[in-house]
């Protein structure tokens, strides 16, 4: 069961925005974001996030051997090492936001450090256009690993979670999952991933078509869908996102790959979306389809298409800014400033974060 955000804190935050020393509604969506956090923390005014945590789910995909990515699968293991040593984009952007980063190997086609491979399910997920991505047992283990990781992080004090992804080929299964759960056509969900050319785009679209043919048959069953056309990374992310919501822990979603996992998580745990904020709009076309389906409006739109949780942690300082407005501004009464005249007091907070 997914808990409801706190209605009372939600109402108090909206009322408080009307009392702060600014024209009603003048901070635009920043007001709405502060209200969103207050309702998730169950307190008004809300607190800046003290222990935001990123978990990057790494795993490559057999379909990448058929020329659907601009990079070879070896890059996945190399980037896991780079994230671990602090040299990836997500490390820099997380540091800017006061967040810490953990990377886990769910299905990397290579050897990674012992410290990151405790939950590893297999080497590379299956080539979804010709075979199942996982066995039923692997799918169950991967979802459970994601749930366990969310529990571990929340129990260790994380007050905001971000799921990131790293895996050569992962935009192909993410496109299939998105198409299967939104009744979209392959051409609508296939993008350029790491930067593929037209020939690779056509190969990728054919792979998505073939994967989707099998995925559509099991689209009503989230575990079967993850097994057929997802992969260990996507399954773990779905478990992680569903569990965060069940624990009442807010999440900032990243781009297209995390978005696809979020669609599955919403199937696993209906209502989970109420604990998620969309960090940004990835340029991948499927990302916008996910946002529409989940009725989420992204905080940022910076033409990013990286993954790793990078868009989510880029949005986090804006979310913390929204919190500080509610927590630190003076009210009209405190500052001895005249409030609005009755006629002027129009609706204080914009809508559209899913509330």
Ligand X SMILES: O=C(O)c1ccc[n+]([C@@H]2O[C@H](COP(=O)([O-])O)[C@@H](O)[C@H]2O)c1
The residues annotated with a catalytic role in the active site are: 308
Distance CA 45, CA 41 (A): 9
Q: Which residue has 């392959």 as its token pair?
A: 186
Closest Cα partner for 280 from 166, 162, 177?
162
DSSP 286-342: HHHHHHHHHT---SB-------TTHHHHHHHHHHHHHHHHHHHPPBHHHHT-----G
Distance CA 112, CA 76 (A): 10
To the nearest whole angstrom, how small is the minimum distance from the Cβ of residue 308 to ligand X? 6
What, of ligand DMD, ligand X, none, does residue 256 touch, CB below 5 to 8 Å by kind?
A: ligand X
- Does 58 bind ligand DMD (CB under 6 A)? Our answer is no
To the nearest whole angstrom, how small is the minimum distance from the Cβ of residue 237 to ligand X? 11
By beta-carbon proximity to ligand X, the closer residue of 172 and 178 is 172
What, of ligand X, ligand DMD, none, does residue 255 touch, CB below 5 to 8 Å by kind?
A: ligand X
Q: What angle do CA 68, 69, 73 make, to 5 degrees?
A: 115
DSSP 112: -
Strand, helix or coil for residue 226: helix
By beta-carbon proximity to ligand X, the closer residue of 20 and 181 is 181
Bridge partners of residue 56, in order along the sequence:
103, 164
Span interacting with ligand X, options 11-19, 37-45, 306-314, 326-334, rule CB under 6 A:
306-314
To the nearest whole angstrom, how small is the minimum distance from the Cβ of residue 144 to ligand DMD? 25
Angstrom CA distances, 59 to 51, 62, 71, stand at 26, 10, 14
Dihedral pair phi/psi, residue 53, rounded to 5°: -135, 130
Closest Cα partner for 309 from 53, 34, 84, 78?
53
- Does 284 bind ligand DMD (CB under 6 A)? Our answer is no
241: left (phi over 0), alpha (psi -120 to 50) or beta: alpha
- Does 205 bind ligand X (CB under 6 A)? Our answer is no
- For residues 124 and 62, the answer to whether their CB atoms sit within 8 Å is yes
By beta-carbon proximity to ligand X, the closer residue of 257 and 326 is 257
Count of residues in contact with ligand DMD, rule CB under 6 A: 8
Distance CA 154, CA 52 (A): 10
Q: Which residues in 158-192 are b (16+ Cβ under 10 Å) and which e?
A: bbbbbbbbbbbbbbbbbbbbbbbbbebebebbbbb
What, of ligand DMD, ligand X, none, does residue 144 touch, CB below 5 to 8 Å by kind?
A: none
Span interacting with ligand DMD, options 14-22, 71-79, 177-185, 338-346, rule CB under 6 A:
71-79
Count of residues in contact with ligand X, rule CB under 6 A: 24
Dihedral pair phi/psi, residue 251, rounded to 5°: -135, 140
- Does 287 bind ligand X (CB under 6 A)? Our answer is yes
What, of ligand X, ligand DMD, none, does residue 257 touch, CB below 5 to 8 Å by kind?
A: ligand X
Span interacting with ligand DMD, options 2-10, 58-66, 305-313, 323-331, rule CB under 6 A:
305-313
- Does 257 bind ligand X (CB under 6 A)? Our answer is yes
- Does 210 bind ligand X (CB under 6 A)? Our answer is no
Of residues 55, 75, 80, 287, which one binds ligand DMD by CB under 6 A?
Answer: 75
By beta-carbon proximity to ligand X, the closer residue of 45 and 193 is 193
- Does 79 bind ligand DMD (CB under 6 A)? Our answer is yes
Q: x/- string (CB under 6 A) for ligand X, residues 164-203? A: -xxxxxxxx--------------------xx-x-------
- Does 109 bind ligand DMD (CB under 6 A)? Our answer is no
Q: Which residues contact 353 (CB under 8 A, 6 or more apart)?
A: 29, 32, 33, 35, 36, 277, 296, 297
What, of ligand DMD, ligand X, none, does residue 37 touch, CB below 5 to 8 Å by kind?
A: none
Q: Please report, as ranges, the residues that interact with ligand X according to CB under 6 A.
A: 69-70, 165-172, 193-194, 196, 254-257, 282, 284, 287, 305-308
> Applying CB under 6 A, which residues contact ligand DMD?
71, 75, 79, 166, 194, 306-308
């Amino acid at each position: 069961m997914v808990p409801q955000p706190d209605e009372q804190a939600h109402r108090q935050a909206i009322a408080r925005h009307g009392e702060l020393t600014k024209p009603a509604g003048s901070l635009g969506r920043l007001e709405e974001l502060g209200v969103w956090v207050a309702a998730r923390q169950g307190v008004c005014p809300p607190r800046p996030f003290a222990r935001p945590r990123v978990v990057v789910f790494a795993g490559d995909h057999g379909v990448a051997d058929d020329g659907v990515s601009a990079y070879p699968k070896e890059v996945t293991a190399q980037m896991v090492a780079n994230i671990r040593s602090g040299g990836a984009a997500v490390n820099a952007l997380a540091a800017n936001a006061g967040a810490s980063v953990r990377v886990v190997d769910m299905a990397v086609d290579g050897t990674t450090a012992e410290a990151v491979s405790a939950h590893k399910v297999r080497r590379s997920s299956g080539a979804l256009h010709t075979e199942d991505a996982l066995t039923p047992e692997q799918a169950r283990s991967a979802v459970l690993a994601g749930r366990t990781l969310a529990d571990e992080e929340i129990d260790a004090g994380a007050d905001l979670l971000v799921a990131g992804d790293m895996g050569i080929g992962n935009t192909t299964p993410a496109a299939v999952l998105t198409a299967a759960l939104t009744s979209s056509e392959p051409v609508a969900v296939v993008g350029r991933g790491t930067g593929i050319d037209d020939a690779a785009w056509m190969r990728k679209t054919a792979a998505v078509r073939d994967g989707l043919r099998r995925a559509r048959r099991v689209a009503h069953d989230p575990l079967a869908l993850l097994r057929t056309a997802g992969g260990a990374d996507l399954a773990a992310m779905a478990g992680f996102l569903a569990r965060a919501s069940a624990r009442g822990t807010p999440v900032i979603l990243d781009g297209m790959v995390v978005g696809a996992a979020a669609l599955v998580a919403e199937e696993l745990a209906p209502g989970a979306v109420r604990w998620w904020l969309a960090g940004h709009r990835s340029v991948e076309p499927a990302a916008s389809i996910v946002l529409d389906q989940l009725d989420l409006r992204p905080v940022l739109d910076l033409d990013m298409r990286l993954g790793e949780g990078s868009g989510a942690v880029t949005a986090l300082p804006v979310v913390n800014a929204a919190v500080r407005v509610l927590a630190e501004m003076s009210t009209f009464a405190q500052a001895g400033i005249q409030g609005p005249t009755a006629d002027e007091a129009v609706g204080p907070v914009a809508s559209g974060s899913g509330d």
